[in-house]
Every structure is written in C-alpha cells, then in structure tokens.
Structure 1
Amino acid sequence: MTQVTESPVLPRQARTPGAVRRRLAGWPRWIGYVAFLVLLAYGLAQTYWASGGAGFPFGADDANPEYSAFEHVGRDRLAPWLAVGFLLSAGVALLLALPGRRRVPTGVLLGATAASGAAVFFTLADFRILGNLAYVFMLKFSAINWTVINQVFAVTAVALMAASAIAYQRRTTDACGNCGRTGAGAEWTSPASAARWGRKAAWTAVVVPLLYATTRWAWALGYPLGISDELWQEGKEDHLWILGAALATMGALGSLLTLGLVQRWGEVFPRWMPGLRGRRVPISLAVVPAWLVSLMVTIAGVMYIRLHFQGAFDNEKDDWGATVPETIWPVWGIALAAAALAYYFRRRGTCGHCGRG
C-alpha cells in the first residue's frame, strides 16, 4: 500500500493573505513579547556603549549635538542611564505580555509605559526623523545618519511597549483585545459623535501646517517674513529657501490629504483612479500613515519648544519666523491623530472577534 504523506502545499497555505491577516489580528497576544525583545536588545546595546563600545549615537556623541536634549552629556554619563531605562522598560513589557493579572498594580505598569514613551519622544527623538522622511521622498538618502536610525529604533521600541500596554489594559478590563469595546459603548466613540469631533480635528490638522508653510513660501518668493534681511540673503545665496519651500509644499499637500478623513473620497477611491475607482479605501491605508505623521510632527514640535526653553534661540529673536511656527506642530500632530481615530471609529463596523458594533 502506498503511504500517504502530508501535502507539501500546507506550509504555503499558512502563508496566504488570510493566514497573515489572522496572525496580525492576534496582535494582543504577541505584541508584548515583541516589545520585550526589542527593548531588551536596545538595552543591551546601551550596556555595550556604556562599557566603552564605539558608535554611541546620542548626547555629545551625536552628529548634531545642538539638537539633543543632552548636548553636553557624554557617553560615559548618558549611556548607563539609557541602559537602565531600556532594560527596565523591557521588564515592564514582559509583565504586560504575560497572561493574567500582575501583582504589580496596573497603574504602575501603565505609568511606567507612559514615562518610557515620554522620555524617548521628548528627549532622544527630534525633528530629524520627520526631516529625513522628507529627504527619502526626495531621494536624498545620504542625509540619513546613525543618530536618526537609532532615534527611529528607540521610538519603535516604546511604541511597541505602548501597544502592549493597550493590550494589557483591554485584557484586564474584559474588553475586546482587538477593538477595545466592552458591553457598554461609549457615546464619544459612536460613528455620529466621531464624525462631529473628527471634522473639527481634521480642519485643525489642515490649517496648522499651512501657517508654517506660509513663511517658507514667502521666503522663496522674496519676502523675508519673520526673519531679518541678513538671514534671508544668506539663505538665498545657499538656495535654502527653495528647498524649504519644497518641504513646506510637501507638508501642505499632506495636510490637504487629511481632508480625506472626513470626505467621501477618503472612504471610496474616486473615479480618476483607474483600477481602484469605486473600491472601499482600507481603513489602515488612511489611519496608519496619519498616526505615523502625527507622531513625527509632534516629536518635532516638542523639540522646538524644548530648544526655546533651553535658550537656544535667544540670539535669534528677530528671526522668529524660523523657529516659532514649528512650536505649534504638537497641535497639528494631536489634531491629526484625533482625526484619524475618529475616522477609525466611523468606519470600523462590527468587530469580527467579539461581534460588538
């Protein structure tokens, strides 16, 4: 009798789009372990640098230390603190990942997560993440440096930690791990309510970057709005204002795309898009990029606020147009994140896991 063997097709079936989607939908079960491994790896990297290893990217060792919150702090003092911080964060992520409730109070775990995120977002990371993204779209890959790569890694690590905290909070409050809904729905998350406050947030996210872009366009057109004639002339000679106008235009176009979060063409592909016209826009296609941009512009805006408090611009009070418009970017970032969240609430429908709608 011929022996029946297992079909070699099965491993391929496990990699079908449906299987991938199911695995991604199970993120509340595994996200904490991923966060733990990433934070542990970076904590060990910081330990290596603290012990004298080469390549430390932050503080006085930064390629551009003037942007750093630790401009005058060397590796010997900063790396040990970062090592302790990331290793402790890894421990918190593991506690969040393990099933069941922890003896450590939930408030402590969530507070530690918030503290880790704030420390990275507001001290280690800065506007260069956003700037390098713009350079990538302009195919200027040489602008990316080691510090920016490490900033992205650190931000990703604490973002994973935040996601694991969300999963833990839902698990310990008997909410659905995927949608976060409980038996009693909150009024502010209803589609009708989200449509109202989401529209206000979307228009705020459109106006704020246009205020910033106005200064850059004015400089490119020959009007030194908010800067001295001397600084404008220097920038003109170096062609900085053309580049600045190009980056501002990219930001302005991106802000106009925000209207898709409250317009029909943000839910159904318009007729002028061959091959996609009439199809529903995937929720993640609108929400994920919006949340990523909101995070980056908030980080950039906070950096400018921090530099103002540090007195970095005290000698440039006549050139307020170069630094003040960026300080309102956190408003842009928060509004954009809120608009994307409202879009998600409006379109998510009935949860495929808990059946709540």
Structure 2
Amino acid sequence: MATTSTSPQRDDAGTVARGGWTDRIGYLAAGCTALFGLLASAWVIIGHGYPFGAADPDGEGSLLWRVPAGVAAPVFALLLLGAAVTALAIAGPHAVRLRGAPRIALLGYGWLVVTGLLLVVPDVQVLTYAGYAPMLIGGLPFGWPPVDYSELFTWALGYKVFSIVTGLLLARAVLSWQFRTAGACPSCGRRAGAATWTSAESATRWGRWAAYTAVVIPVLYAGTRFAWGLGIPLGITEEFLDEMHDSGLVWAGVGLGAFGVVGAIATLGLVQRWGERFPRWMVGLAGRRVPIKLAVIPASLVAIAITAGGLALYGQPELSEELGGGSLTVIPMLLWPLWGFALGAATLAYHLRRRGACGYC
C-alpha cells in the first residue's frame, strides 16, 4: 500500500522547500522594512521628520544622539530599503541560494540591520516606559501620576516600537534563510550532526546559569532604589535624596525597582517547574502546561528593551561624570546589557528545552 510522506521535500542542496508561516515571514519582513525605508526617504526629501537622537526631546538617552539628522536619515533610508530587497530575496522556499563569501556577506548585512533595529534605534525611553506602564495604566482612572500622556506617547516612541517589531521580523527571516542555506530545517534549524549545545539537556545546564545571572542584576538595581525610598542615601548625597523625595521622583525609582524584582521572579520561571506548569493556586489553570510562547514572547521583548536601554546609557554625555563620582544612580545600570543578554540566553534555553518535535520538519 502506498504511503504519503508528510515530511518536507528537500532539493539537491539539502534545503527544505515547503510552504508555511516560516516561508511567508520573509515577505512580511520585506514589507515592514520597505515601509520604514520609505519613511526615512521622506525624511530626507522633505528635510525634516527624522525622530531619533538629537531630534528627539529624549534623544540624549540614545546611541544616536551624536549623529546629525542630515546624516542619519539617508543612512536609514539606504540600509532599510536594502534590507527590504534582501528580505524579499531570501523569502520562501524559492529564495536565492548562495554559498561561501556571498552567503556570509548577505548574512552579515542582514544581521547588521537587525542589530541596528533592535539595539540601536530603541533606547532608554522604551525600557523606562515599559517599567512605568503598570503605574501609568493603574493610576490613569485616578489622575495619577499627573502627566500629559500626549507628551509621553510620542511619534518618536511609536517609531522605536515599530523598529523592534520590524527587527524581529527581519531577524526571523534572516535566521530562516541561514538555516535553509545550511541544509537545516528553516523553522527549527535542526539537522544531522548539529551542535549539541542546542539539545534539551545542554540547554538546561547553560540556561540555568543565564537565568540566575538575569535574576541577580535587577535585584541589585532594585536594592538601591528601595533604600532611597526608605530614606537611606545609598551612594548619593542626602541633599539629592531630599530633592527626589520632595519632587516624588524617588517613588518612580521605587516603582522601577519593583518592576525589576517582579521581572526577576518571572525569570526564575524559566528554570523552575512552575514555569512549565501553572501552580496550584491559579484556579482554572492549575496543573496545565504553560504555553511556550506565553513565556518566550514577553521575555524576549523585555530582553531586547533592557539590552537596548543599557547600551544607550553608554552614549549619554553625563555618564562619565556620574561614574567619576561613583554615583549609584548609574553604576547598577551599567550591568543592564549583561542583564539583557542573560535574559535572552535564558529565554532561548527555555525554548530549546521545551520545543519538542518541530511541526515543520
């Protein structure tokens, strides 16, 4: 009796050729990068509208603050339109096939643009607003905090969020093509003789170290902010602490510290049993398996925001002055890039450990 195979067909280069979301995501990445590139082109043509760096009121918290708009906008346009063409060329099972140096060059270009979209364009503002979100949303019905929301949620912030979305789509498209041209499954990257570090057993080991690193750093940061809330001038002068209490700024720091502690607890779920099955006290969900994406998607977004925000701190002009004074307003935040990378690694390990069989290959 004849049988029908459900495994994907492979061409003579050993690459997978089968339709699906993995194949279509390249087209979506091409559309988003093209839209972003056209916006950048419009900034160049009309001479204004560039929203990042020095053109942004919050631009001093960005790696782009030293780059003039007249230089940055054309570079944005060229890189993004080039990335759109690249994403279109590598999309789907009929994507361009390259080997050797051309393949490495195309991958290098793709990952360069991804890095810029995910870690250079976003800045401290994205991370700060993510930390303030519970206070802003919870206090909105009560008119607290007394802020103008139209001044907080600006076009610049929207572009930064769109940059993250576009970067993630492009990253997935580039990664799928990288897998495909290496003779692996374009969805999960599995292939015969693959590196053992991606196995569930190996991911369990190195993922534990990454998770614990991602727990310690925010707790250290929160400790300084909680001390200030209690009136302890840890690493700062009493005059500065009094100013923060008088202005209420200290409670914003306490809120961010609390957000960091909650995030640290959630990070433990990446290596604990309750991160795989809902605990007993969660009525209606107790004992059920935690959907992998429910943990991976939020953790990945937070890891990107933390890494981008941490890297942006190194571009701030007042950083060296505050470091010279040994200020604890800055020193704990210098570890944020390490925190972001560790959280990203722990999230990847969680995914590798729980992913099971690939529905594509």
TM over 0.5, shorter chain:
yes
Matches within 5 A, 1:1-357: 26-52=20-46, 54-71=48-65, 73-97=67-91, 99-103=94-98, 105-138=102-135, 139=137, 141-142=149-150, 143-307=152-316, 310=317, 312-314=319-321, 317-318=324-325, 320-354=327-361
> Mind listing any 5+ residue stretches in structure 2 that lack a counterpart?
1-18, 141-148
Distance 1:206 1:79, change over 3 A: same
Distance 1:117 1:230, change over 3 A: farther
Q: 1:320 deviation in Å? A: 1.6
State the Cα deviation string for residues 281-321 of structure 1 (Å, max 9, x = none).
111111111111111101111111232xx554426633621
Distance 1:350 1:68, change over 3 A: closer
Q: 1:72 deviation in Å? A: 5.1
1:351 alignment partner AA: C
* RMSD (CA atoms): 2.1
TM-score (norm 1): 0.86
Q: 1:27 deviation in Å? A: 2.4
Paired residues in the alignment total 328
Distance in 2 (alpha carbons) for counterparts of 1:134 and 1:324: 19
Distance 1:124 1:100, change over 3 A: closer
Q: Which is bigger in relative contact order (C-alpha 8 A, separation at least 6)?
A: 2
Distance in 1 (alpha carbons) for counterparts of 2:70 and 2:46: 8
Distance in 1 (alpha carbons) for counterparts of 2:195 and 2:247: 54
Query: Are 1:63 and 1:147, in contact at CA under 8 Å, matched by a contact in 2?
Result: no
Distance 1:221 1:34, change over 3 A: same
Distance in 1 (alpha carbons) for counterparts of 2:322 and 2:48: 35
Q: Which residue of 1 aligns with 2:143?
A: none
Query: Are 2:62 and 2:313, in contact at CA under 8 Å, matched by a contact in 1?
Result: no
Query: Are 2:29 and 2:166, in contact at CA under 8 Å, matched by a contact in 1?
Result: yes
Distance 1:68 1:343, change over 3 A: closer
Query: Are 2:126 and 2:160, in contact at CA under 8 Å, matched by a contact in 1?
Result: yes
TM-score (norm 2): 0.85
Distance in 2 (alpha carbons) for counterparts of 1:192 and 1:316: 41
Distance in 1 (alpha carbons) for counterparts of 2:120 and 2:195: 35
> Mind listing any 5+ residue stretches in structure 1 that lack a counterpart?
1-24
1:345 alignment partner AA: L
Distance in 1 (alpha carbons) for counterparts of 2:352 and 2:98: 33
Distance in 2 (alpha carbons) for counterparts of 1:103 and 1:268: 43
Distance in 2 (alpha carbons) for counterparts of 1:73 and 1:353: 43
1:261 alignment partner AA: L
Distance in 2 (alpha carbons) for counterparts of 1:350 and 1:103: 28
| Identity percentage of aligned residues | 42
Query: Are 1:100 and 1:172, in contact at CA under 8 Å, matched by a contact in 2?
Result: no
Q: 1:76 deviation in Å? A: 3.1
Query: Are 1:226 and 1:318, in contact at CA under 8 Å, matched by a contact in 2?
Result: no
Identify the range of structure 1 (50-59 vs 104-113) with the bigger mean alpha-carbon deviation.
50-59
Q: 1:209 deviation in Å? A: 0.6
1:258 alignment partner AA: T
Q: Which residue of 2 aligns with 1:4?
A: none
1:36 alignment partner AA: A
Query: Are 1:59 and 1:78, in contact at CA under 8 Å, matched by a contact in 2?
Result: no
Distance 1:47 1:352, change over 3 A: closer
Distance in 2 (alpha carbons) for counterparts of 1:73 and 1:301: 19
Query: Are 1:62 and 1:68, in contact at CA under 8 Å, matched by a contact in 2?
Result: no
1:89 alignment partner AA: A
Q: 1:187 deviation in Å? A: 1.9
